[in-house]
Amino acid sequence: MKINSNIQAQVAQNVLRANEEKHSSSTERLSSGFKLNHAKDSPAGMAISNRMNAQIRSLYKAKDNASNAVNVVQTADGALGEVHSMLQRMNELAVKASTGTLTSSDRFAIHKEVDELRREIDRVAKDTEYNTQNLLGGDQEMKGYTNQPDFAKNIYYDPDFPKGNYQIDMTNKKLILDGSTVPTKSFETDDVSGRCEIMMFDGSKLEFTYEPGTTPAATPAFGIDVTGIGGMKIQVGTKTGQEIQVVIPKMDPASIGIDKIDLRTEEGSREALGVIAKALEYVSTSRSRLGAYQNRLEMTVESLAETTENLEGSYSTIKDVDMAEEMVDYTKLQVLVQAGTSMLAQANEAPQQALQLLQ
């Protein structure tokens, strides 16, 4: 029998300490709802869960971005709907002014209404905004530059149009890049409306307006730099490059080709019919493109929601505690702590038995 070293008490104390630590950790897990509260609980699991949580939170923001982009497209499409209605009204007026039964004063009155409609289209293009950003004034279209700014204006091209510094030969209707002719599906010019449209075989287009009856200074060709830069880029992922480019063309009267129409003469009214028809086609094509953007963005929102849901499930498997299973361990550890406390008390009483030998 020894009194300087109470081995039984030390054993009971070590076991009690270990069980108390486990009991404390179980209490923390039940209180927080997390299986991993500290890196020591599972270093690899903590690293994976933190990375996954960062991705989940970023995806929620990406989904918000896509939803906001849907609102942008809807705003632009709503404004283009009004432009489309005004063009239809202008077409009606042009048809009315083309008949020979009208007098000059009649056509002048019709032209005044067309002028007002043209001003309203210009106002819509300038004033249509989302979060203070102009949508139809050219800020959200692809950027293109020319070495003949006095000749070629209102340059627009699809995002899929190949980038490059092109030479445009309007006389021979050729698109030239690095000295070689680029095959094109169509190369159309309209001297009435002053519009040139070049279409590639994949359907992508390059368009610009010019002053009818004029030629570029650098004949027979002039340069247009298709930069591939521009549009509104919507971040729909957690990494660089995971984005959707929304391109909205400029929609002022000059861009859609109606700035020169004149209904004050019968001949001018007939010419205006073709110009307005092309403007209607241009706006309709732009609205069709916006509709495609909206459908894609809505599908993106649904895809991001599905991805986030799956990642949340994986994150929960790694990070969250199973409350039923943890409660079983908690109850077991609670009993062990109580038993250990009782055994430590009894072990501390053992050396007192030595006093009986001294009596």
Q: In what order do the strands lie in the sheet with 164-169?
A: 142-146, 221-230, 164-169, 174-177, 180-182
- Measured N-to-C along each axis, helices 323-349 and 7-32 cross at an angle, to the nearest 10 degrees, of 160
Question: Which parts of the chain sit beneath pLDDT 50?
Answer: none
pTM of the full structure: 0.80
Distance CA 89, CA 193 (A): 18
Distance CA 335, CA 46 (A): 30
Q: Cα–Cα distances in Å, from 80 out to 89, 220, 234, 236, 298?
A: 14, 36, 21, 25, 20
The maximal CA–CA distance of the chain, rounded, in angstroms, is 142
C-alpha radius of gyration, the chain, whole number: 38
67 alpha-carbon distance from chain centroid: 8
Nearest-CA neighbor of 129 among 81, 66, 76? 76
Structure confidence at residue 358 (pLDDT) = 65
Structure confidence at residue 357 (pLDDT) = 67
pLDDT tens-digit readout, 215-266: 787 667 899 999 999 999 999 999 998 999 999 999 999 989 898 899 999 9
Structure confidence at residue 359 (pLDDT) = 62
Nearest-CA neighbor of 133 among 76, 84, 64, 78? 76
For the record, the structure tokens of 157 come out as 């091209």
